[in-house]
Structure formats: C-alpha cells, structure tokens
Amino acid sequence: MTEPNSDCLFCRILRGEIPAKKVYENEHVFAFEDIDPQAPTHVLIVPKKHIAGLKEAEADDAELIGLCHLAASEIARQRNIEKGYRTVLNVGPGAGQSVFHLHVHLLGGRSLGWPPG
Ligand code: 5GP
Ligand code: ZN
C-alpha cells in the first residue's frame, strides 16, 4: 500500500488493524463484505492506495479505479449475480459518502430499483 493514512478506516482494514470479511484481493485492490449490507451481495472494493474519493482522484488513478470495477465484475461472476447488479461510487456527503477512501459498492442478489434514492 502506498500513502497509508493512519486515520482512515479502510486503510486500517487494509493494514489488518480492523477485521473485515475478505472477499477478493489482488496486487492493487482489496474487497470485503460491507458491515451493514443493503442487498444479499454488498461488497466494498477499495484500491490499496489511499485515494479520498472520486473527486480527489487524479489521472494516474484511472487504472486503479478501473481495476476496482473489474474486481466487482469478477466477484459478481463468482457469486452468480450477473442477471443484474450495480456498482456505486458515492461521491461527497450529499450522496452518502461516509468513508473518505475511494470504494466501489457492489450490490446484487435482489432486484434493484431505478432511480436510486
Ligand atoms: P459510503 O457511505 O462512504 O459510500 O460507504 C461506506 C460503507 O462502509 C457503508 O456501506 C458502511 O456500511 C461500510 N462500513 C462502515 N464501517 C465499516 C466497517 O468497519 N467495516 C465494514 N466492513 N464496512 C464498514
Ligand atoms: Zn485510506
């Protein structure tokens, strides 16, 4: 992990300081079960590099953001939820972002309404 942030909840999970149910990991990303699942599958995929959120991401982070989404598609395949799932980035408190380490929500395993709330 580069640029660790000692105050960041997801950096602490990445360091193993806070337990999480690991779902998937590769060189660049880590995925774990959301503690308060909103669907039968609710997984969070985070880059190992601390990026506060999409607003703060830079051009160099493009590959990492893409890799988070590709990890989501791999997990969805493994879980057999490819009939319909959603990847979500909440950006800013007004959209519900509460943890300021970029994360992709993978939601699936039930029908998902549109538009989201
Ligand atoms: P946000 O609201 O920032 O888009 O998403 C943060 C997510 O992190 C929420 O869905 C919340 O349930 C989840 N979360 C918050 N604290 C923890 C924790 O300690 N462990 C895990 N696994 N998920 C957490
Ligand atoms: Zn972090």
Residues having CB within 6 Å of any atom of ligand 1: 9, 18, 20, 32-36, 44, 90, 96-99
- Residue spans of beta strands (DSSP E) within the chain: 22-25, 29-33, 41-47, 85-88, 104-108
Whether the model pTM is above 0.85? yes
Read off the DSSP letter of residue 88. Answer: E
Residue with CA at minimum distance from ligand 1 atom 4: 97
Annotation says 101 is catalytic: no
Instruction: State the pLDDT at residue 2.
Output: 47
For residue 61, give Cα distances in angstroms to 1, 8, 49, 51, 80: 14, 18, 9, 8, 29
Domain at 9-108, CATH class: alpha beta
Residue 4 and residue 11 in contact, taking contact as beta carbons nearer than 8 Å: yes
CB 110 within 8 Å of CB 38: no
pLDDT in tens, 54-112: 999 999 999 999 999 999 999 999 999 999 999 999 999 999 999 999 999 999 999 99
